[in-house]
Structure 1
Amino acid sequence: MGVIPLLTKHFLDIPLGRLELAAYLCADHSTLTRELSQMRSEGLLALKESSFKIIQ
């Protein structure tokens, strides 16, 4: 599977849902969701669908 993330001005668009992203990263879906939520609560990134905004 050839996934090419698109990084534009602090936004990283990933053309995968969370289940697909977890499979691509060989990570458990619940672990990925928990880690993304933790990074969001720490103010490191903002999440919107398959887009991530890198804050710090």
Structure 2
Amino acid sequence: MNEHLEDMDVFLQTMHQLEDQIIKLIRSSDLSERQQQFILNHILVIPGKESCFD
């Protein structure tokens, strides 16, 4: 049972890190504030999908 909780904790930490990285990338773009906010409101982080940011 503890192993499953540890796996879930790692998963959640990874998701948080991905979300932070995505926000940084969007905020550092040349998009307008309105465009950035639209993307942030509609983005979906998919765990396990290959990342092109590594």
Q: TM-score, normalised to structure 1's length?
A: 0.32
Greater share of strand: 1
Greater share of helix: 2
Between Structure 1 and Structure 2, whose CA radius of gyration is higher?
A: 2
Q: Which has the higher contact order (CA 8 A, sep 6+)?
A: 2
